[in-house]
Amino acid sequence: MSEKTLGITAKKSEDFSEWYTQIVQKSDLADYTDVSGCIVFKPLAYAIWEKIVSEVDKRFKKSGIKNAYFPLLIPEKLLSKEKEHVKGFSPEVAWVTYAGNTQLDERLAIRPTSETIMYASFSKWIKSWRDLPLRINQWNNVVRWEFKHPVPFLRTREFLWNEGHTVFATKKEAEAERDEIMGIYQDVTENYMALHGLLGKKSEKEKFAGAEYTITLEYLLSNGKAIQGPDFHHDGQNFAKAFNITFLDKKEEKQHAWQNTFAITTRMIGIMIAIHSDDKGLVLPPKIAPNQIIIIPIFTKENKEKIIKKANEIKTKLKRFDPILDDREEYSAGFKFNESELKGYPIRIELGPKDLEKKQVILVRRDTNHKEPIKITSLTKTVPKVLEEIQTSLLKKATELIESNIKKAKDFQELKQHIKDQKIVLAPFCNEAKCEEMIKYKTGGAKTLNSPLNQKTNAKCISCNKPTKELFYFGKSY
Amino acid sequence: MSEKTLGITAKKSEDFSEWYTQIVQKSDLADYTDVSGCIVFKPLAYAIWEKIVSEVDKRFKKSGIKNAYFPLLIPEKLLSKEKEHVKGFSPEVAWVTYAGNTQLDERLAIRPTSETIMYASFSKWIKSWRDLPLRINQWNNVVRWEFKHPVPFLRTREFLWNEGHTVFATKKEAEAERDEIMGIYQDVTENYMALHGLLGKKSEKEKFAGAEYTITLEYLLSNGKAIQGPDFHHDGQNFAKAFNITFLDKKEEKQHAWQNTFAITTRMIGIMIAIHSDDKGLVLPPKIAPNQIIIIPIFTKENKEKIIKKANEIKTKLKRFDPILDDREEYSAGFKFNESELKGYPIRIELGPKDLEKKQVILVRRDTNHKEPIKITSLTKTVPKVLEEIQTSLLKKATELIESNIKKAKDFQELKQHIKDQKIVLAPFCNEAKCEEMIKYKTGGAKTLNSPLNQKTNAKCISCNKPTKELFYFGKSY
């Protein structure tokens, strides 16, 4: 890439879409392919995903969830077993109809999600209360052929995710899993990705196809659009009845089981990029960055050897932060500075001949651009402190971004105005699908995001005036 | 499962196929699904796969290979770009023709392998010698709709694997990667999976579709059938020419790049099961077993508390071996012993009231069934020693199994007889496809496995009598 085309030419505050498109490509996160809506996760993005997977997976395993792998392809008959579920997914299913030159007797769906193929197995595996709980997870790829405009990470036709599928003997046990799972997702998204989401229950209209209720974390992008993150669905006995998942309880009586499903997807990478990054490029929270430090030596032919030697010493000293030493000769230091900002290394360490004399480096924070000379001897003490400051500061900023954009509405006119101003609005709502459609129509597109869990009201629906006990967040969705 | 149906009823030496089918299902490794040829990787098998992935991936990363993720779906046009490649794969391709109710303009192949979609990107990414080497890997699922009889792990229509795809400026650099990659595969398969493979180069007939040559590790199952394990393909410039992967060298001259691809698949799980296991069930090498120890307390209502307490102490003591404590009340100790053998825990620790008195446990080796009382105080010293003995002994047995079944043939009659006796035969061979077909026909199905790398001859082809410098292993393939 030439120095001219390196930088991002759009401003985040002026043209979010163009800025986002450029950052994804120029920071080497993703690339488009010949299949519309399917992207390449380039090494930087995939390494971020590996970090997310590793942190979530560790916590799942500790909680007793076991990983498995079910087939990619689902026979049409199976996919159709739960009515609401098939209605929700079939418009987006990619269908396999041929193998080689042979037409298949039955079409096979590429999994848009794996309930139907997993539960066919679960119903064979579960016979007795001894077989419960069954808590299975898989990390895989799914395809949903959405016809809306695809956007890398945020809306792709193929994406990567975890799908947890758990089965319990009682509703109480099933529901007790909710806080544990959402706690894991919150822990990783807040403390690693530095993102603050709104936790709550989806409306009847927006819940998962086949679920009794859906819990989500919702985020706000800087273009005023809300977007859904990880989710947890309590399925009640819906699927257990459709797939005949039953067990003999301790009294030898046959019961239908209770189920949950939950997921975090590669969309989170897009949300994280969009929230933290700036006009210079990617900003990555240290705890999710594949490399926390880049060391850029500034050298000429004459002093190269001396400076590279010291740079290597520093690299070894800071080994536990996976530093990269950019000692390429074919690029200028200026080019490397710009590139390091584009690619979001949390800390840049510059080392030139004058620094060498003074036994120091220049330490540059990616998030604030703050530069400071640091004695080489105190680097191992300073670096972890600065990394922690960056991590804390990014979460604080992300929290402020969403919280300062939440408004309460007293009446429908206020709701409409706040929506127009690209705010998230908290308002009482009757939770009826028809009423939600009306609100969407009258506000030019606002939907419910979710309903905060422990916040109850005794008010009237902001739209239809029916008494309600529920407050909902509203916003325009990405 | 009732105690009656728990055990394996077929003998490995008498009916390998039935034995293998039973072990896969009864050891809880895999289950069949409604899609023929596609299995469920149950938690035990998936945990084994996670170990393989983790060890291989660690070594890839150390060597500088980066993980990425490319789309599952490949447009027909792209798949057809390299002639030999498409000829090799198109008979087995699963085709997506519809998305929802919309017929697609162009059919999309589910990747049988990702050369074609990756190299379309590589050709955009690579411009200059500065962009090389490019060493990308992905861990993913692929579909090959084989019409042969599917067998769990050994031959499935969907399987999991790594596919490494690397690009170099020179043939020399590309070929230098061969020993590194095959070394990684050998390290993990030998030192973790305790398997001994024959390293060599595939014949012209059997090499990968589109490759210049293919290096493999070949294994022998106890039914006398050989089976291919990990492979490495040097593609020369074949794909670079088909996909226009070029770069400007240091003299600013345009060159086609040189490429390799390499893979290890979930088939290895099947090979490992088949080689180590016995009529009682699964035998797992300690370094690949998800849990190296199972602790089975033998208790009655009266002494339960005391015994479980001690069993928990032992579990804590042995924590680093991920022990499982089977303290279920609803199953008898006898049932648990059988189940522990079926599931292949390398060490079983039995703790009954008499053992408690003597401050000992009974330590049972899964591979030899050897039982020994061990003082509880010396467990932390004994256990790692025994685990290492098991690991070493399994590799030794596996090595002997294959080596004792390799025969040299002086003439075609000998070759034919050894093949009939279910041996692997080493013989000089001209490496011509036609001749190989003739051998296959005349022996009732023997194929070349590969040609050992550093073993040369000055002999005549065992079939056509042409002078040749190459020795090949022959065998019947799974």
Contacts of A66 in chain B (CB under 8 A): 43, 46-47
Contacts of A130 in chain B (CB under 8 A): 328, 330
pLDDT, tens digit (0-9, with 9 covering 90-100), for A201-249: 999 999 988 899 999 999 999 889 999 999 999 999 999 999 999 999 9
Taking the C-alpha atoms of residue B187 and residue A297, their distance in angstroms, rounded to an integer, is: 37
Q: Residue type at A258?
A: W
Taking the C-alpha atoms of residue B396 and residue B282, their distance in angstroms, rounded to an integer, is: 18
DSSP label at B151? B
- A456, B326, B337 from B371: Cα distances, Å: 63, 19, 13
pLDDT at residue A4 is higher than 60: no
Closest residue to B99, CB basis, from A50, A70, A145: A145
pLDDT, tens digit (0-9, with 9 covering 90-100), for B57-86: 999 999 999 999 999 999 999 999 888 888
For position A273, what pLDDT does the model report?
97
Q: Looking at CA atoms only, how far is residue A68 from chain B in angstroms?
A: 5
For position A84, what pLDDT does the model report?
83
Contacts of A100 in chain B (CB under 8 A): 90-93, 145, 147
pLDDT at residue B1 is higher than 50: no
3-state secondary structure of B170: coil
Q: Looking at CA atoms only, how far is residue B66 from chain A in angstroms?
A: 6
Radius of gyration of chain A (CA): 25
Average pLDDT over residues A12-28: 96
Average pLDDT over residues A314-341: 95
Average pLDDT over residues B385-402: 98
pLDDT at residue A129 is higher than 90: yes
Strand locations in B100-195 (E) = 102-110, 134-143, 158-168
State the best of B96, B116, B329 to mutate against chain A, taking most chain A CBs within 10 Å.
B96
Q: Cβ distance B233 to B262 under 8 Å?
A: yes
Q: Looking at CA atoms only, how far is residue A180 from chain B in angstroms?
A: 21
Average pLDDT over residues B121-144: 97
Give the closest residue to A198 by CA, choosing from A189, A206, A211, A207. A189
Instruction: Name the average pLDDT for chain A.
Output: 96
- A69, A194, A418, A476 from A162: Cα distances, Å: 11, 20, 35, 26
User: Which pair of structure tokens corresponds to residue B473?
Assistant: 């292993």
Average pLDDT over residues B392-397: 98
Give the closest residue to A147 by CA, choosing from A137, A155, A139. A155
The residue count of chain A comes to 478
For position A269, what pLDDT does the model report?
98
Percent of chain A residues past pLDDT 90, beyond the cut: 93
For position A420, what pLDDT does the model report?
95
Average pLDDT over residues B369-378: 97
Least confident of A88-92, A283-287, B370-374, B465-469: A88-92
pLDDT at residue B146 is higher than 70: yes
Contacts of A117 in chain B (CB under 8 A): 33-35
Percent of chain A residues past pLDDT 70, beyond the cut: 99
Q: Cβ distance B96 to A110 under 8 Å?
A: yes
User: Number of residue pairs across A and B with CB atoms under 8 Å?
Assistant: 161
Q: Looking at CA atoms only, how far is residue A467 from chain B in angstroms?
A: 40
- Contact state of B34 with A91 under an 8 Å Cβ cutoff: no
Residue B118 pLDDT level (bands cut at 50, 70, 90): very high
For position A5, what pLDDT does the model report?
62
pLDDT, tens digit (0-9, with 9 covering 90-100), for A371-429: 999 999 999 999 999 999 999 999 999 999 999 999 999 899 999 999 999 999 999 99
Contacts of B94 in chain A (CB under 8 A): 73, 96, 98-99, 108
Q: Looking at CA atoms only, how far is residue A72 from chain B in angstroms?
A: 8
- Contact state of A108 with B94 under an 8 Å Cβ cutoff: yes
Residue A88 pLDDT level (bands cut at 50, 70, 90): confident
Average pLDDT over residues B271-296: 97
Strand locations in B383-432 (E) = 406-408, 424-428
Contacts of B101 in chain A (CB under 8 A): 91
DSSP labels, A105-163: EEEEEEPSSSHHHHHHHHHHH--BGGG--EEEEEEEEEE----SPPBTTTB-SEEEEEE
Percent of chain B residues past pLDDT 70, beyond the cut: 99
Closest residue to A35, CB basis, from B38, B69, B75: B75
The residue count of chain B comes to 478
User: Which pair of structure tokens corresponds to residue A396?
Assistant: 């604080």
Torsion angle of the four alpha carbons B28, B34, B35, B41, in this order, in degrees rounded to the nearest 10: -20
Instruction: Name the average pLDDT for chain B.
Output: 95
Q: State the DSSP H helix or E strand holding residue B364, giving kind and residue range, or none if neither.
A: strand B360-365
Taking the C-alpha atoms of residue A478 and residue A268, their distance in angstroms, rounded to an integer, is: 13
Q: Looking at CA atoms only, how far is residue B198 from chain A in angstroms?
A: 30
Q: Give the pairing of strands A324-325 and A293-297.
A: parallel
- Contact state of A72 with B330 under an 8 Å Cβ cutoff: no
ipTM of the complex: 0.96
Residue A83 pLDDT level (bands cut at 50, 70, 90): confident
Residue of A nearest to B156 (CA): A71
pLDDT at residue A6 is higher than 90: no
For position B457, what pLDDT does the model report?
85
Cα dihedral B204, B207, B210, B211 sign: negative
Radius of gyration of chain B (CA): 25
- Tell me the helices (H) and strands (E) count for chain A, helix number first: 15, 25
Closest residue to A68, CB basis, from B42, B101, B328: B42
Q: Which long-range contacts (CB under 8 A, 24 or more apart) does A332-340 make?
A: A332/A3, A333/A296, A333/A298, A334/A3, A335/A3, A335/A6, A336/A296, A337/A296, A338/A3, A338/A6, A338/A7, A338/A280, A339/A6, A340/A294, A340/A296, A340/A366
Strand locations in A17-101 (E) = 30-32, 39-41, 66-67, 73-75, 94-99
Give the closest residue to A346 by CA, choosing from A389, A256, A285. A285
Residue of A nearest to B64 (CA): A43
Q: Looking at CA atoms only, how far is residue B300 from chain A in angstroms?
A: 20
User: Which pair of structure tokens corresponds to residue A148?
Assistant: 């809306």
For position B6, what pLDDT does the model report?
77
- Contact state of B130 with A72 under an 8 Å Cβ cutoff: no
- Contact state of A91 with B78 under an 8 Å Cβ cutoff: no
Q: Cβ distance A61 to B17 under 8 Å?
A: no
Contacts of B110 in chain A (CB under 8 A): 72, 96, 110
State the best of A51, A52, A73 to mutate against chain B, taking most chain B CBs within 10 Å.
A73
Q: Cβ distance A317 to A380 under 8 Å?
A: yes
Average pLDDT over residues A353-363: 97
Least confident of A5-9, A144-148, A168-172: A5-9
- Contact state of A73 with B158 under an 8 Å Cβ cutoff: yes
- A121, A246, A255 from A169: Cα distances, Å: 17, 9, 8
